[in-house]
Amino acid sequence: MSRSYLFIPGNTPNMVQNLDIFESDAVIIDFEDSVMSYDKDAARILIQNFLQKFPLQEGTIYIRINDVENSHFEADILATRDLKIAGYVLPKASVEAIDKLNQLSSGLSIIPIIESPIALLESKQIATSKNVIGLLFGAEDYTKEMGIERTLEAKELLYPRSHIAVVCRAYNIEAIDTPYTAKDDDAGLQQDAMNAKALGFTAKALIHPNQVDTINRIFAPSPEEILQAKRILKKSEELQKGAFSLDGKMIDLPIIEKAKKVLEKAQKYGL
């Protein structure tokens, strides 16, 4: 149910020990792209000691391990599977890679990254794999493999985004959008996040802590949505009927369920 997923470089003590300050709903401690290959052992040991010393963190912690082809894949999992984490973010995801991860990881949640054309085509199978709780769209690697330019306007991402959002909705898992990489561009970030939300994404990943507030605000239910949800549930309790009319619109069970989820989110985010 997290709205924001903040990447934290896993070998940078200054960021690691402050990971709970940024008020992101979830944090992804990164062992992959932000850690040099010769320091990946250092990152594992740093995070082991950090989470053992400070196990109680507000906010959900994931670790982006190295991909299944990488020599560090197994070591990453063995070093962290007994720590207090919610699960793993798996780059270059495939059904086989998820299998291998499940074999090693003792039932922790998995968020596969869809960052290639093949993964996009396989996203249904990936989404329904064991322990998968969401999909993260990785536009950087995706556009690289497609051989296309990534633009701020993001028309080239419309199809993969829509596809992922549909798959996630269909299988009732989280749809997490790709980070908006332009720094200090709050207007651009807002537009990008709203576009993602409009397509059905439930959350957005980010690398700049200053983006947390905007993303949390956009992916939270709005005050109007919350009010409406309260009204629907109130009337539902009063009438004790499965279907009724409110403001001239038909309210049935799916809509009542959605209203319940909205209030659950609002509670969780303190709105």
Name the residues that contact other proteins, by CB under 8 A. Answer: 12-14, 17-18, 21-23, 41-42, 45-46, 48-50, 52-54, 184, 208-210, 213, 270
Closer to other proteins by Cβ: residue 12 or 60: 12
Closer to other proteins by Cβ: residue 17 or 102: 17
* Nearest-approach distance from CB 149 to other proteins, in angstroms: 28
Closer to other proteins by Cβ: residue 13 or 107: 13
**Rounded to whole angstroms, how far apart are CA atoms 271 and 268?**
8
* Nearest-approach distance from CB 205 to other proteins, in angstroms: 16
Site of tokens 């040099």: 36
Q: How far is CA 9 from CA 32, 51, 79, 226, in A?
A: 9, 15, 17, 35
Sign of CA dihedral 7, 34, 209, 113: negative
Closer to other proteins by Cβ: residue 10 or 160: 10
Strand partners, 136: 113, 176
Closer to other proteins by Cβ: residue 8 or 259: 8
What is Dmax (Cα atoms) for the chain? Answer: 64
Angle in degrees, CA 207, 61, 40, rounded to 5: 70
Strands 87-90 and 134-137: unpaired
**Rounded to whole angstroms, how far apart are CA atoms 149 and 151?**
6
Is 23 in a helix, a strand, or coil? coil
Closer to other proteins by Cβ: residue 56 or 250: 56
* Nearest-approach distance from CB 23 to other proteins, in angstroms: 7
* Nearest-approach distance from CB 53 to other proteins, in angstroms: 5
* Nearest-approach distance from CB 24 to other proteins, in angstroms: 11
Of the candidates 114, 117, 116, 140, the residue with the CA atom closest to the CA atom of residue 127: 114
